Amino acid sequence: MISFGPTEEQSVAREAMREFATRAMRPIARECDETASVPEKFLQSVWELGLTATQIPEAYGGAGEARSPVTNALVLEELAYGDVSLALAALTPSLFANVILDLGSEEQKQAYLPLFGGERFHAASLAMIEPSPAFDVLSTRTAAEPKGEGFVLSGRKSFVPLGDRASHFLVVARGGAGFGFDALDAFIVPRDAQGLTIAEPEKNLGLRALTTVGLVLDRVELPAAARLGGERGIDARRLVNASRAALAIALTGLARAVSEYCIPYAKDRVAFGEAIAKKQAIAFGLADMRIETDAMRHLAWKAASQLEHGLDATKSAQLARDYAAEECMKIADNGVQVLGGHGYIREHPVEMWYRNARTLGVLEGTVTL
Amino acid sequence: MISFGPTEEQSVAREAMREFATRAMRPIARECDETASVPEKFLQSVWELGLTATQIPEAYGGAGEARSPVTNALVLEELAYGDVSLALAALTPSLFANVILDLGSEEQKQAYLPLFGGERFHAASLAMIEPSPAFDVLSTRTAAEPKGEGFVLSGRKSFVPLGDRASHFLVVARGGAGFGFDALDAFIVPRDAQGLTIAEPEKNLGLRALTTVGLVLDRVELPAAARLGGERGIDARRLVNASRAALAIALTGLARAVSEYCIPYAKDRVAFGEAIAKKQAIAFGLADMRIETDAMRHLAWKAASQLEHGLDATKSAQLARDYAAEECMKIADNGVQVLGGHGYIREHPVEMWYRNARTLGVLEGTVTL
Amino acid sequence: MIDFELTPKDRELLEAIRREALVARGYARHYDENEHEFPPDELPEAKDFPSVFSLFAGRGKEDTGMGVMSMLLTAGQTWGDYSVRMRRGKGGLGNAALRAAGTLAQQEKWKDLTLAMAITEPGCGSDPSAVQMTAVLDGEEWVLNGEKIFVTTGCRADGVVVWATIDKAAGRAGIKSFLVEKGTPGFIVAHKEKKLGIRADDTAAYVFKDCRIPRANLLGGEETIPKAGSGGFRGVMKTFNMTRPAVAAIGLGIAEAALDFTRDQLREVGIEIEYGGGMGSQSAVVRRFQRLEALYEAAMLTVLHAAYLSDHAKPNNTEASIAKAKGGSAVREITQGCIEILGPLGVSRDHLLEKWFRDVRITDIYEGTGQIQRLIIARDILGYSSAQLR
Amino acid sequence: MIDFELTPKDRELLEAIRREALVARGYARHYDENEHEFPPDELPEAKDFPSVFSLFAGRGKEDTGMGVMSMLLTAGQTWGDYSVRMRRGKGGLGNAALRAAGTLAQQEKWKDLTLAMAITEPGCGSDPSAVQMTAVLDGEEWVLNGEKIFVTTGCRADGVVVWATIDKAAGRAGIKSFLVEKGTPGFIVAHKEKKLGIRADDTAAYVFKDCRIPRANLLGGEETIPKAGSGGFRGVMKTFNMTRPAVAAIGLGIAEAALDFTRDQLREVGIEIEYGGGMGSQSAVVRRFQRLEALYEAAMLTVLHAAYLSDHAKPNNTEASIAKAKGGSAVREITQGCIEILGPLGVSRDHLLEKWFRDVRITDIYEGTGQIQRLIIARDILGYSSAQLR
Q: What is the mean pLDDT of residues A170-188?
A: 90
Distance of alpha carbon C246 from its chain centroid, rounded?
5
Which positions in chain B touch C336 (Cβ < 8 Å)? Answer: 329, 333, 358
Q: Sign (positive/negative) of CA torsion D205, D211, D217, D220?
A: positive
Distance from CA of C150 to the nearest CA of A (A): 26
Q: How far is B16 from chain C (nearest CA, A)?
A: 32
Contact B340 C194 (CB under 8 A): no
Specify the pLDDT at position D226: 63
> Helix axis angle, C284-311 relative to A314-339, nearest 10°?
80
**Which H or E element spans position C363?**
none
CA geometry: angle C25, C29, C33, nearest 5 deg: 150
Q: Which chains touch A (3 or more CB pairs under 8 A)?
A: B, C, D
State the pLDDT at residue C229: 44
CA distance C122 to chain B (A): 10
User: Nearest CA to C86 among C172, C187, C199, C179?
Assistant: C199
Chains in contact with B via at least 3 Cβ–Cβ pairs below 8 Å: A, C, D
D361 pLDDT above the threshold of 70: yes
Mean pLDDT of chain C: 90
Residues of chain B with Cβ-Cβ distance to D328 below 8 Å are none
Q: pLDDT tier at D209 (50, 70, 90 boundaries)?
A: very high
Determine the average pLDDT of the residues in A311-332: 98
Confidence bin at D122 (pLDDT 50/70/90): confident
Binding-face residues of A in 34-93 toward D, CB within 8 A: none
Q: Across residues A202-220, what is the average pLDDT?
A: 98
Interchain proximity C348–B203, CB inside 8 Å? yes
Q: What is the pLDDT of residue A359?
A: 98
Residue C231 has pLDDT above 70, yes or no: no
Cα–Cα dist B303/B150, whole Å: 35
What is the pLDDT, as a whole number, of residue C125?
A: 58
Q: Is D209 helix (H, G, I), strand (E, B) or coil?
A: strand
Beta bridge partners, B27, equal: none
Cα A156 vs. chain centroid, distance in angstroms? 20
B141 interface with D at CB cutoff 8 Å: no
pLDDT at C170: 83
Per-residue pLDDT, C287: 97
Q: Which of B366, B319, B304 is nearest to B10 (CA)?
A: B304
Among D56, D164, D53, D54, which Cα is nearest to D117's? Answer: D164
pLDDT reading at C90 higher than 80: no
| Per-residue model confidence as pLDDT tens digits over B14-62 | 999 999 999 999 999 999 999 999 999 999 999 999 999 999 999 999 9
Instruction: Report CA-CA distances (Å) from D372 to D231, D306, D377.
Output: 19, 17, 9
pLDDT surpassing 80 at residue A234 = yes
Q: Is C45 a catalytic residue?
A: no
Residue D107 has pLDDT above 80, yes or no: yes
Inter-CA distances, B27 with B30, B87, D109, Å: 7, 14, 61
Closest residue in A to C322 (Cα) is: A291
Cite the DSSP H helix spans in chain B.
8-20, 26-35, 40-47, 69-103, 106-112, 236-268, 280-308, 314-339, 341-344, 350-360
Rounded-to-integer distance, Cα A14 and Cα C166, Å: 48
Q: What is the DSSP track for C192-212?
A: E--BSS--SS-EEEEEEEEEE
Is the pLDDT at D9 greater than 50? The verdict is: yes
C349-B135-B164 Cα angle (round to 5): 50
CB contact under 8 A, B281 and A279: no
B10/D contact by beta carbon, under 8 A: yes
pLDDT of residue D124: 65
Query: Do C184 and C206 form a contact (C-beta atoms < 8 A)?
Result: no
Q: How far apart are the first and last CA of chain C?
A: 39
Instruction: Count Cα neighbours of C240 within 13 Å in the Cβ-side half-sphere.
Output: 25
Q: What residues of D are in contact with residue C341 (Cβ under 8 Å)?
A: 279
Q: How confident is the model at residue C234 (pLDDT cuts 50, 70, 90)?
A: very low
Query: Residue B236: its pLDDT value, please?
Result: 95
Residues of D within 8 A of C288 (CB-CB) are 279, 284
Indicate yes or no: CB of B6 within 8 angstroms of CB of D389. no
User: C touches which chains (3+ CB pairs under 8 A)?
Assistant: A, B, D
Model pLDDT for residues D267-287, shown as the tens digit of each residue:
999 999 999 999 999 999 999
Q: Which residues in B lie closer than 8 A to residue D371 (C-beta atoms)?
A: 284
pLDDT at res. D232:
44
Model pLDDT, residue C233: 45
**b vs e for C300-322, b when ≥16 Cβ sit within 10 Å of the residue's Cβ?**
bbbbbbbbbbbbeeeebbbbbbb
Instruction: Provide the pLDDT for residue D41.
Output: 75
- Residue A217: band (very low, low, confident or very high) from pLDDT cuts 50, 70, 90: very high
Contact yes or no for B344 and C365 at CB 8 A: yes
- Mean pLDDT, range D354-374, rounded to an integer: 96
Whether residue C163 contacts residue C131, with contact meaning beta carbons closer than 8 Å, is answered with: yes
Q: Tell me the pLDDT tens digit for each residue of A145-165.
A: 999 999 999 999 999 999 999
Distance from CA of A269 to the nearest CA of D (A): 9
Q: What is the mean pLDDT of residues D11-38?
A: 92
Q: How far is CA D83 from CA C384, D92, D201, in A?
A: 44, 12, 7
Please state the rounded mean pLDDT for residues C124-130: 65
pLDDT over 70 (residue D237):
no
Residue C88: pLDDT band (50, 70, 90) is: low
- Beta-carbon separation of C343 and D278 below 8 A: yes
CA–CA distances in Å: residue B258 to residues B114, B329, B339, B344: 38, 11, 11, 14
Within 8 A of D284 by CB-CB distance, chain C residues are: 279-280, 282-284, 286-288
Which of the pair, D237 or A272, is modelled with greater confidence? A272
Q: Is D280's CB within 8 Å of C340's CB?
A: no
Task: Calculate mean pLDDT across residues D164-169.
Answer: 90
pLDDT of B179 > 80? The answer is no
The whole-number pLDDT of residue C91 equals 61
Q: Per-residue confidence at D37, pLDDT binned at 50, 70, 90?
A: confident
Q: Which of D173, D240, D236, D239 is nearest to D387 (CA)?
A: D173
Condensed to tens digits (0 to 9), the pLDDT of residues B69-124 reads 999 999 999 999 999 999 999 999 999 999 999 999 999 999 999 999 999 999 99
The confidence score (pLDDT) of residue C148 equals 92
Distance (Å, whole) CA B340 – CA B271: 12
- pLDDT the model gives residue B355: 98
Q: Bigger pLDDT: C357 or D96?
A: C357
| Residue of chain A minimizing CA distance to D285 | A134
What's the pLDDT band for C230 if we cut at 50, 70, 90? Answer: very low
Neighboring chain A residues of D269 at a CB cutoff of 8 Å:
132-134
Contact call for C2 and A1, based on CB within 8 A: no
- C119: confidence class by pLDDT, cuts 50, 70, 90: confident
CB contact under 8 A, B277 and D277: no
pTM of the model: 0.94
Q: Does A11 lie at the interface with D, CB-CB under 8 angstroms?
A: no
Q: Do C279 and D285 touch (CB under 8 A)?
A: yes
- Contact between residue D120 and residue A345 where contact means Cβ atoms under 8 Å apart: no
D90 — pLDDT class (breaks 50, 70, 90): low
Q: Is A345 exposed, middle or buried (0-12, 13-18, 19+ CB in 10 A)?
A: middle
CB contact under 8 A, C308 and A305: no
Mean pLDDT across the stretch B222-241?
95
B134 contact residues in C (CB cutoff 8 A): 265-266, 269, 271, 285, 341-343
Q: Which amino acid is at D290?
A: Q
D131 pLDDT higher than 90? no
Taking residues B197-204, report their average pLDDT: 97
Answer yes or no: is pLDDT of C86 > 60. yes
pLDDT classification of D88: cutoffs 50, 70, 90? low
Q: Given this model, what pLDDT does residue D229 score?
A: 44
Range with the lowest mean pLDDT among A187-196, C114-123, D232-241?
Answer: D232-241
Given C20, C256, C319, C367, which residue is catalytic? C367
Give the total residue count for chain C.
390
The whole-number average pLDDT for the span B295-299 is 98
> Which pLDDT tens digit goes with each residue over C294-307?
999 999 999 999 99
Q: Which residues of B touch C149 (CB under 8 A)?
A: 341
| Residue C280 distance to chain D (closest CA, Å) | 6
Contact state of B284 with A281 under an 8 Å Cβ cutoff: yes
Alpha-carbon span A61 to A217, nearest angstrom: 31
- Which residues of D are the active-site residues? 367
Q: What is the DSSP string of B215-268?
A: EEEEEEEE-GGGBTTGGG---HHHHHHHHHHHHHHHHHHHHHHHHHHHHHHHHH
H-helix or E-strand containing D376? helix D370-382
Residue D85 burial class via C-beta count within 10 angstroms: exposed 0-12, middle 13-18, buried 19 and up: buried
Alpha-carbon gap, residue D73 to D11, rounded angstroms? 10
B260 C-beta neighbours (distance < 10 Å), count: 15
Nearest to D342 among A133, A279, A325 (CB): A133
CA distance D2 to chain B (A): 5
Tell me the shortest Cα–Cα distance from B326 to chain C, in angstroms.
Answer: 9
**Would you state the pLDDT for residue C56?**
79
pLDDT, tens digit, 9 for 90 and up, residues B114-124: 999 999 999 99
**CA D216 from centre of chain:** 27
